[in-house]
């Protein structure tokens, strides 16, 4: 059971992604309700067959104190797909400041990218223009919903109706 389940709050806002086992337990204990299940898959016990959850909704509203993505090394790697933004390799990764710290660059979402050691050393303490390098994707702070989708490793079709309204709302805001 390697599938993941989208967990929604009582107001249908996305909260997290959990394992099928955890989702089934929440449904079984009547703490959540099943909204979508995967066709052709089921969970079985000795005497019962249960739908294979894909999207569940928590029955009681849970206050989420901080719905942002924390700036950490691993979260930057996730945002950048665990590959160097200059050459595309997946090996020997580190972080690079687009504007070097010695030149006043801060450790922020918009200034950090994933880079391999070789590209990071090549860029060194210089600006991108000076060394003629350009990242494949310009760095940005991911929204919570986008990060939730990317970090789950998959985006199932039946999740889209629940995630798209929140993506559009964050783009407009």
pLDDT at 173: 40
DSSP state of 27: H
CATH number for region 73-131:
1.10.30.50
pTM of the model: 0.64
Euclidean distance between CA atoms 163 and 148, whole angstroms: 10
Euclidean distance between CA atoms 70 and 47, whole angstroms: 44
Mean pLDDT, residues 67-81 taken together: 88
Task: For residue 144, give the H/E element and its range.
Answer: helix 144-151
Map out the domains of the chain as residue ranges: 4-66+143-172, 73-131
Mean pLDDT, residues 96-117 taken together: 95
- pLDDT beyond 60 at 171: no
pLDDT in tens, 6-46: 999 999 988 888 899 999 999 999 999 999 999 889 999 99
- pLDDT beyond 90 at 122: yes
Euclidean distance between CA atoms 60 and 32, whole angstroms: 8
Average pLDDT, whole number, for the chain? 87
pLDDT bucket at 95, cuts 50 / 70 / 90 = very high
C-alpha angle 17-95-151 in degrees, rounded to nearest 5: 10
Mean pLDDT, residues 108-129 taken together: 94
């Amino acid at each position: 059971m390697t599938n993941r389940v989208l967990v929604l709050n009582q107001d249908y806002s996305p909260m997290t992604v959990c394992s099928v086992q955890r989702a089934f337990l929440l449904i079984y204990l009547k703490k959540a309700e099943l909204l979508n299940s995967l066709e052709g898959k089921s969970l079985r016990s000795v005497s019962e067959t249960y739908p294979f959850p894909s999207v569940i909704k928590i029955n009681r509203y849970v206050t989420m104190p901080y719905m942002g993505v924390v700036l950490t090394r691993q979260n930057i790697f996730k945002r950048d797909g665990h590959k160097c933004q200059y050459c595309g390799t997946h090996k020997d990764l580190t972080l690079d400041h687009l504007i070097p710290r010695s030149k006043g660059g801060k450790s922020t979402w918009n200034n950090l990218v994933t880079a391999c050691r070789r590209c990071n050393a090549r860029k060194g303490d210089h600006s991108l223009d000076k060394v003629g390098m350009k990242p494949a994707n310009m760095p940005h702070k991911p929204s919570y919903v986008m990060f939730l989708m990317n970090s789950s490793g998959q985006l199932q079709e039946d999740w889209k109706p629940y995630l798209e309204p929140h993506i559009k709302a964050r783009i407009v805001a």
